Amino acid sequence: MRRKNYTTFAAIHLGSEMLSMQITEYHNTERYKVVECCNRRIRLGEATFKNKIIPFPLVSEICEILIGFKRLMKEYGVEEYVMQATTAVREASNQVFLLDQIYNKTGLVVDVVDMPREIYTKFVAIRNTLKAEKISTEREGMLMMDISSGGLGVTLVRDEKICYQGNFHIGIIRIKESFERNRRESMHFNKALTEFLSSTIGPVRNELGDSKVRYLVLSGTETELLLRMLGLDEKQLVHRIKAADFHAFFDSMRQMSLPQLIQVYKLPENVAELVLPTVLLYEQLLHLIPAKEIIITADRFIDGIQLLHIGNKTNPVMRKELEQELISLFHTIGARYLYDKKHAQQVERLSLIIFDKISKAYGMGEHERLLLRATCILHDIGKYICMRSHSIYSYQLIMSTDIIGLSEADKEIVALASYYHANRLFDKTNTRAPQVEKELVPVVAKLAAIVRLADALDRSYMQKIHSCTVTLKDNKLKVLAASKEDLTLEIWTFDDKSTFFEEVFGIEPILERVNK
Amino acid sequence: MGKLDLTKPEYFYNRELSWLKFNLRVLKEAMVKDTPLLERLKFIAISASNLDEFFMVRVAGLWSNFDSGVEKRDASGMSVHEQLVAISQAAHEQVRTQTKSLIALMAEMDAVKLHFRRVKDLSELGKDWLEEYYREVVFPVLTPMAVDASRPFPFLANKTLNLAVELIKADGEHSMGLIQVPSVLDRIVEVEPEGKRTFVFLEDIIASHCHDLFKGCHILDMVSFRVTRDSDLDLEEDDSVDLMKEVEESLRKRKRGAAVRLEIFKTNNNRIKKFLEENLDVTEMEVYEINGPLDPTCFFKFIGMKGMWPWLYEPFVPQRPLELPYDGDLFASIRENDILLHHPYESFDPVVKLVSDAADDPQVLAIKQTLYRVSGNSPIVAALARAAENGKQVTVLVELKARFDEENNILWARRLEKAGCHVIYGLVGLKTHAKIILIVRKEDNGIKRYLHLGTGNYNDSTAKLYTDLGLMTANDEFGSDASAFFNLLSGYSEPPVWNKLVMAPLGLREKIYALIDNEIAMVRAGREGHIIAKMNSLIDQPVIQKLYEASAAGVHIDLIVRGICGLRTGIEGISDNITVRSIVGRQLEHSRIFWFANGGEEQLYLSSADWMPRNLNDRVELFFPVETEEHIHRIKALLDLYLRDNVGAHMMQSNGTYRRVRNKLEPVSAQSTLYEMAQLAVTADKLPMEKRLQPVFSRR
């Protein structure tokens, strides 16, 4: 028998409306085959968005279905799996009990992803599809709108860079659940809903500035419904529709009542109820961002789980590209707070030279490298608020910004490292210092120590050092900085800041200027 | 053109009366002189057995509806009571034909020295032998039951044969007694010392010897009779279940087990008749007086007795399938080409082998199968259990409601469970009638799925008698549909967007409409519209209306419907483009085939479903396309053969009767032709040289 050259992987998504599993055999991101796809409807969102509690019968139902999924996983000889839960579970106050029951009854470990990661996961899938369709963002911008049952993610991409990213707590089921039935049936509902949506997503327009958008990419659970109503093939991966056609479609159906919708589009009542909020939301979006063409993709969250998993395992090029896009997002955030781009880049460059020398010995890998880069780019953004104690504001700004691609925990590390690049760790006299949880101390300290050193090397903010090599010998880290200019300020600062580095790594940093 | 009203009662036939006509066609096979004598006798037994079930289920169901006051009329406009009256009339007529045929056949048997005799007409030697037979064998199992004030009328089991006895006591008082003819003994007894083959009926032996059974009484008269009851079986053949729901629970309990038919040997003794009628609570129209042997189902066993072969068909041997010329790796064969099997002409063995091979194949990960009716000692069930024991994931969807012997079903279902199979005992609201096997195999290039889809049950016994088609394929689109199908039935997933399969009750009806509408559109576009559909029963009113619509539009429709057909042919402007024929013969026609001309790009489908409301609304059924050109041609040729049949085919006439097709053409029997063709296919010159070189050690 020939050597088996593929891996069988199951992606499971516990969403707000659907419990899904997709089993794939993959060689790499180009060669893979979906062999099984299950979607079982569950009414999780309706229950949780209102009462924040997942009722017990629903917990049992979920476990029953998952036991079936486990059986299917065996039937296909699944070797790897990732199970993620999104909005409804994230927001349930009894989340822990649900996860515990799932684990005890099925052995499955559930990763509850936060909103930015959820959006990012889908972003990755859609990005991949659009690339395959050769839809380019080189010149004209593409605004991606992902509407899930619980949230709306807005991402602007131009020239392979993420130029804007914002997420809103507004989704179809959530809208439906936010208004009681009698309100939904009111004559004024249409207008009230329009205003509600407009006020919630209006600020996006300001954020986008003068950005022109050619494509509006729609994705999410309700797009399927939209396709069906437009009479398009649900199985096709990508649909491109002219904006004018889209408006005409909306005009044709806006005035329809619920019974008319059910009759004309042959929808079940519970689905028809979602039509109005969906249509109004899309309409508001189009009103805010007049795009020329609308693209609807069939990508789902579960496709993103799958792609990220396979990509991480097999495709370093894709990893790099994704990382590059994330870095572009960090810069977008930096720019929003008027950061000193040249300084940030210099610190990033120098930090990476040091990092690459010592990372292996200190248990740091690709992921820490990315967090380091984020810290370097964002460490000074607090200066936007106040020049004096900028580091605390850097911390706060980072913590309160959605950064897709980074989990809440990742974001906290970046924020803490940014704060501690300028402050002493364990300083009892500093009552404003943010607490670092015990398990985060090593990574935060290591990143902060590196950034602190690199920051010292550009103390003048003049990027005097044009190149730099680092050697490590006998616990001494020798930094050979090539510069034609005087480095006195940098050398003094470096001396002051090197103590922390030595404490953390047990290595003494020494700076030498090379006149080149 | 104004819209046609296609709902008029005169456009439809009543389901029950149509069924009785079908049974009459079966019965009339007994009079076909070309058929071997005892095969003809077998047709009488089959029609009698069919009629038993008809009374137990259909007639009982109607009585139950009548008692609970259901007032719904059927498509042909008949009320429940009108149906019962009409059934009684037709059934009486049929029973008379049956008895006449039976007596005629017994005369023919006499001519070939198979003699049925009364005990009193035997030789002394024979009488002595019977005397001993009675004492040794019969007497010990007889239970005489007197019926009087202190001993009420006993419960006589369904379908048992009994003797009613009129007695006179020593004190001159008249009374009645009953003797059950023991069902553990052979009904027909050969009297060995007679010299020539002579047979007597068991009830005659008892009647001739029982004068001392009732102590202190003198026997005045004796009459044999048989009772048929509303059976407590499932209502499998019944789509009046919906109506049943309206019936009060208490009423149902009371009526269950009630007698629905009394068959009684023709007698002038009105006292016995009245005694039975009153005690069994039957009305006059439920009484069938028969001037001949009761219960001809006993001839099933008779024709199996030793030495009967000269008057029977040569044994029917299912042949090696045309598309599987030799043993070997079945999976490899399926991977290479889809395989079409036509049972019983071609053996069912490959289907058993598929499951069995899968059970032992280390690369197989999972087997999933639906089971509706299986044979008593099913090799498929055994293979499934073995597969589970071998660590495969086995999912079996068992339909418990499908069988008469539910207990037996539960037994083997438990066995499967014990072996580690995941057994699903049907769905809450639907019966699973689809026939599908899915095998998931892990191969070098990834998961590969193998499927068997069929028109008949996974029953290796009936597969020797029923004509059915089965398709084995490794087509990915079929495979992923099959997975989705099982995921849906297992509750793991919502219905998907299907690639190839069509499923009832989710979409099959609409698909049928769409296919018929397509033919209508073809005609309107000036092209030919033609449908050939073969099934067991056609009674779904909306589908029939759709066919009328098509006929009216000019679509030519040839229907091959073995049994019940509610559609009327020859209505001017409504159904004059429709022909209906029924094929009856040695094999039971069971395959469901649907062919559509589609303007020259023909489409062909196979299905587990008939066009009946229960199949389209209340059952899980599958309907699937046949896609390879050779297979389409092969099956289309099969349909054409059926349409040419002038031996076993009966055409529906515009007055609703069926007339055997007789024409001046060369006689064509589809069933015999198919058997000959299957035999021909395996003759030596069709085999590859390596096979022809193999020595033969034993005959098959």
- DSSP codes joined into one string, B370-393: EESS--TT-HHHHHHHHHHHTT-E
Residue of chain B with shortest Cα separation from A4? B444
Amino acid code (one letter) for A123: F
B429 reaches A (C-beta below 8 A): no
DSSP code of A459?
Answer: T
State what percent of residues in chain B have pLDDT above 70. 92
List of chain B residues whose C-beta atoms are within 8 Å of the C-beta of residue A74: 365-366, 393
Q: How confident is the model at residue B38, as a pLDDT?
A: 96
Please return the burial class of B173, using the count of CB atoms within 10 Å of its CB with bins 0-12, 13-18 and 19+: exposed
pLDDT tens string B63-110: 988 988 888 899 999 999 999 999 999 999 999 999 999 999 999 999
CB-nearest partner of A75 from B365, B444, B496: B365
Q: Side-chain half-sphere of A272: how many Cα atoms within 13 Å?
A: 16
CB atoms A41 and B393 under 8 Å: no
B368 to chain A: nearest residue by CA?
Answer: A75
CA distance A305 to A320: 17
Cβ–Cβ < 8 Å for A49, A91: yes
Copy the structure tokens of residue A137. 């963002």
The pLDDT of residue B250 is 37
- In the DSSP assignment, the letter for residue B54 is I
Q: What's the angle, vertex CA B428, arms to CA B424 and CA B432, rounded to 5?
A: 60
- How confident is residue B637, by pLDDT bands cut at 50, 70 and 90? very high
Q: Which pLDDT score, from 0 to 100, does residue B690 have? A: 64
Contact A33 B446 (CB under 8 A): yes
Helices (H), B341-435: 349-360, 379-389, 406-418
Mean pLDDT: which of A110-124, A426-440, B389-403, B502-516 is highest?
B502-516
Size of interface A-B (CB pairs under 8 A): 60
Residues of B in Cβ contact (< 8 Å) with A64: 491
Question: Per the CB < 8 Å rule, is A68 touching B490?
Answer: yes
Q: Which chain B residues have a beta carbon less than 8 Å from that of A37?
A: 484, 493, 496
Model confidence at B609: pLDDT above 90 = yes
Query: Inter-chain contact A40–B483, Cβ cutoff 8 Å?
Result: no
Residues in chain A with CB shorter than 8 Å from the CB of B495 are: none
d(CA B96, CA A250): 72
pLDDT value of position B541: 95
For residue A294, the cross-strand partners are A216, A241
pLDDT tens across the length of chain A (516 residues): 344 578 999 999 999 889 999 999 999 888 899 999 999 999 888 888 888 899 999 999 999 999 999 999 999 999 999 999 998 899 899 999 999 999 999 999 999 998 888 888 988 998 888 888 888 776 778 888 888 777 788 888 888 788 888 888 777 777 777 776 666 666 677 777 778 777 877 777 777 766 778 888 888 777 777 888 888 877 777 888 888 888 888 887 777 777 787 888 877 777 777 777 777 777 777 777 788 888 988 888 999 999 999 999 999 998 898 899 899 999 999 998 999 999 999 999 999 999 999 999 999 998 999 999 999 999 999 999 988 889 999 999 999 998 888 888 899 999 999 999 998 888 888 888 899 999 999 999 999 999 999 999 999 889 999 999 999 998 999 999 999 988 889 898 998 889 999 999 999 999 999 888
Which of A282-296, B73-87, B178-192, B319-333 is predicted with the least confidence, judged by mean pLDDT?
Answer: A282-296
Interface test with A, best of B493, B497, B499, B506 (most A CBs within 10 A): B493
Cβ pair B496:A37 closer than 8 A: yes
Q: Smallest CA–CA separation between B492 and chain A, in Å?
A: 6
Question: Which pLDDT score is estimated for B406?
Answer: 58
Name which of A19, A34, A35, A67 to mutate to probe chain B: the one with the most chain B Cβ atoms within 10 A of its Cβ. A35
Beta-carbon separation of B447 and A68 below 8 A: no
Q: Could you give the 3-state DSSP secondary structure of residue A482?
A: strand
Question: Does residue B248 have a pLDDT over 50?
Answer: no
**Considering only alpha carbons, which residue of chain B is nearest residue A40?**
B493
Q: Which residue from A8, A33, A38 is facing B493, i.e. has the nearest CB?
A: A38
Give the C-alpha separation, B678 to B681, whole Å: 5
- B439 in contact with chain A, both atoms CB, cutoff 8 A: no
**Segment holding A197, helix H or strand E:** helix A189-201
Q: Which residue of B has its CA nearest to A66?
A: B492
Decide which of A114 and B473 is more confident: B473
Please give the residue of chain B at the shortest CA–CA distance from A25.
B446
Query: Are B487 and A69 within 8 A, CB to CB?
Result: no
Phi-psi region of A209 (alpha: psi -120 to 50; beta: other; left: phi over 0): left
Question: Cβ–Cβ of B365/A1 closer than 8 Å?
Answer: no
**What residues in B contact A25, CB-CB < 8 Å?**
446-447
Q: How far is B497 from chain A (nearest CA, A)?
A: 8
- Which residue, among A50, A74, A78, has the nearest Cα to A173 in the 3D structure? A50
Report chain A residues whose CB lies below 8 A from the CB of B488. none
In terms of CA atoms, which chain B residue is nearest residue A8? B446
Cβ contact (<8 Å) for B366 and A25?
A: no
Q: Does residue B344 have a cis bond before it (omega within 30 degrees)?
A: yes
> Which pLDDT score is estimated for B436?
97
- The answer to whether residue B393 neighbours chain A at the CB level (below 8 Å) is yes
Write down the H helix ranges in A236-389: 243-254, 258-265, 269-288, 301-314, 316-336, 341-358, 366-378
Q: Which of B392, B440, B487, B506 best tests the A interface by mutation, with the highest count of A CBs <10 A?
A: B487
Q: Is the pLDDT of residue B685 over 90?
A: no
Which one of B492, B494, B500, B510 makes the best mutation probe of the A interface by having the most chain A beta carbons within 10 Å? B492
Provide the token pair at A463. 């990027």
Give the list of residues 6+ apart from residue A471 with CB closer than 8 angstroms, or none: A357, A477, A478, A480
- Residues 6 or more apart whose Cβ sits within 8 Å of residue A14: A44, A62, A83, A84, A85, A86, A88, A89, A110
C-alpha distances in Å from residue B535, one per residue of B351, B559, B560, B595, B612 = 22, 8, 6, 12, 10
Q: CB-based contact (8 Å) between B493 and chain A?
A: yes
pLDDT band, residue B482 (cuts 50/70/90): very high
Q: Which amino acid is at B457?
A: N
Which residue stretches of B54-185 are H helix?
A: 60-67, 80-111, 124-133
Q: Which residue has the higher pLDDT, B592 or A492?
A: B592
User: Tokens 């999104």 identify what position?
Assistant: A86
Nearest of B223, B197, B182, B206 to residue B133 by alpha carbon: B206
Contacts B442 to A, Cβ<8 Å:
76-77
Instruction: Give the gap in angstroms from C-alpha B454 to the nearest C-alpha of chain A.
Output: 23
A10: β partners: A23, A81
Rounded to whole angstroms, the Cα distance separating A262 from A266 reads 5
| B494 contacts A64? CB cut-off 8 A | no
* Per-residue pLDDT tens digits for B43-58: 999 999 999 999 998 9
Q: Look at strands B174-180 and B161-169 and give their pairing.
A: antiparallel
DSSP-derived letter for residue A140 is S
Residue B402: count other Cβ atoms within 10 Å of its Cβ: 19
Top residue of A20, A71, A72 to mutate, by most chain B CBs within 10 Å, is A72
Q: Indicate whether B247 pLDDT > 50.
A: no
pLDDT of residue B211: 83
Q: How far is B392 from chain A (nearest CA, A)?
A: 8
Distance between CA B572 and CA A448 in Å, rounded?
A: 93
The closest CB to that of B393, out of A41, A64, A75, belongs to: A75
DSSP code of A30?
A: S
Active site residues of B: 433
Gap from B53 CA to chain A (nearest CA, Å): 40
- Mean pLDDT along residues B570-594: 95
Residue type, B511: K
Q: CA B369: distance to chain centroid? A: 22
pLDDT computed for residue B109 by the predictor: 96
**Top-confidence residue, B545 or B251:** B545
Higher pLDDT, A428 or B367: B367
3-state DSSP percent of chain B in helix, strand and coil, to 5: 40, 20, 35
B102 burial (CB, 10 Å; 0-12 / 13-18 / 19+) is buried
Residue type, A371: L
Closest residue in A to B498 (Cα–Cα)? A235
∠ Cα B313 B314 B319 (to 5°) = 120
CB proximity B656 to A under 8 Å: no
C-alpha to C-alpha distance for A339 and A376, rounded to whole angstroms: 11
Beta carbons within 10 angstroms of residue B296's beta carbon: 26
Asked whether the beta carbons of residue A35 and residue B447 sit closer than 8 angstroms, the reply is: yes
What chain A residue is nearest to B479 in terms of C-alpha separation? Answer: A35
Nearest CA-CA distance, residue B35 and chain A, Å: 52
Asked if residues B272 and B287 have their Cβ atoms less than 8 Å apart, the reply is: no
Question: Are the C-beta atoms of B137 and B127 separated by less than 8 Å?
Answer: no
Task: Show Cβ contacts of residue B332 under 8 Å, excluding neighbours closer than 6 positions.
Answer: none
Predicted local distance difference test score (pLDDT) of residue B254:
40
Instruction: Note whether B442 contacts A: Cβ–Cβ < 8 A.
Output: yes
> Is the distance from CB of B120 to CB of B315 less than 8 angstroms?
no
